[in-house]
């Protein structure tokens, strides 16, 4: 089993190299940046950008450590050699550098963990790419709203019953984004109940909204061992 990745900065190890190789690959995706970064002029980065690079290098190392410590026979070297993990890790660096959101960074760590572990919550390659794009595009409020629907899954509810942003137009804006991605849905106007009765609603919105199977799968993808760091997780401390 490979040794744990030490905190940054430290002498390089095999596992630390994993994070740095991925970081270098992601930087080369930034238009116009790859050449001069490769030339060793990282000091031209503003302090904020450099801080994000350093912080996410540690985040990525934490994922590698978690996978190596919980997966029998896995080494850091084997992990980075996995195309699926490397591709997802490079994409996650790009997303992390574009946002300082702690919620988004937690979602990325959990997502990468599932990709590396290739466990039951791991999405296939195409769907994983869609889910990573959702992490990139959705805000903290989107995720909180989706988690609210996830906590009451199996039924439809009015937005004000689950919305962290209150009721009204604001909640509908966030809900519309989630619905456009297939993560939540409106109750059908004509709804057959288990008991055999038929309910007819004046509109789908009046009947409420609920999380979809895809939405539940997305929540599983962005949830995992790093959830203990979320302020709304029982026993967790806010950052």
Contact of 179 with 209, CB cutoff 8 Å: yes
Closest alpha carbon to 117 in 16, 213, 5, 225 = 225
Q: What is the pLDDT of residues 172-221, one digit of tens each?
A: 889 999 999 999 988 765 555 556 555 555 444 566 889 999 999 999 99
* pLDDT tens digits for range 198-207: 555 544 456 6
Q: What angle do CA 148, 102, 122 make, to 5 degrees?
A: 65
Rounded Cα gap, residues 185 and 24, in angstroms: 39
Given a cut of 50, is residue 130 above it in pLDDT? yes
Of the listed ranges 2-6, 78-82, 199-203, 226-230, the least confidently predicted one is 2-6
- pLDDT attached to residue 30: 55
The domains located in the chain, with CATH, are: 14-121+223-228 (no CATH), 140-220 (1.10.10)
Predicted confidence at residue 11, as pLDDT, reads: 44
pLDDT bin (cut points 50, 70, 90) of residue 8 is very low
pLDDT at 161: 76
Higher pLDDT among residues 228 and 107, named by residue: 107
Phi, psi values for residue 176, rounded to 5°: -65, -40
């Amino acid at each position: 089993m490979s040794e744990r990745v030490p905190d940054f900065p430290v002498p390089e190890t095999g596992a630390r190299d994993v994070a740095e190789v991925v970081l270098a690959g992601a930087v080369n995706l930034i238009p116009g940046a790859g050449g001069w970064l490769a030339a060793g002029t990282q000091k031209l980065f503003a302090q904020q950008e450099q801080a994000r690079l350093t912080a996410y290098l540690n985040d990525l190392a934490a994922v590698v450590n978690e996978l190596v410590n919980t997966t029998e026979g896995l080494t850091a070297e084997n992990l980075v050699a996995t195309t699926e993990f490397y591709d997802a890790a490079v994409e996650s660096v790009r997303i992390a550098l574009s946002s300082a959101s702690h919620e988004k960074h937690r979602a990325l760590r959990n997502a990468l963990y599932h990709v590396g572990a290739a466990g039951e919550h791991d999405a296939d390659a195409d769907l994983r790419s869609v889910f990573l794009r959702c992490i990139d595009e959705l805000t903290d409020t989107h995720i909180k709203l989706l988690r609210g629907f996830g906590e009451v899954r199996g039924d439809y509810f009015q937005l004000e019953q689950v919305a962290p942003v209150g009721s009204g137009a604001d909640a509908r804006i966030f809900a519309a984004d989630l619905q456009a991605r297939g993560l939540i849905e409106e109750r059908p106007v004509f709804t057959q109940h288990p008991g055999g009765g038929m309910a007819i609603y004046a509109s789908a919105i009046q009947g409420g909204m609920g999380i979809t199977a895809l939405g539940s799968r997305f929540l599983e993808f962005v949830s995992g061992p790093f959830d203990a760091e979320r302020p709304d997780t029982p026993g967790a401390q806010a950052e």
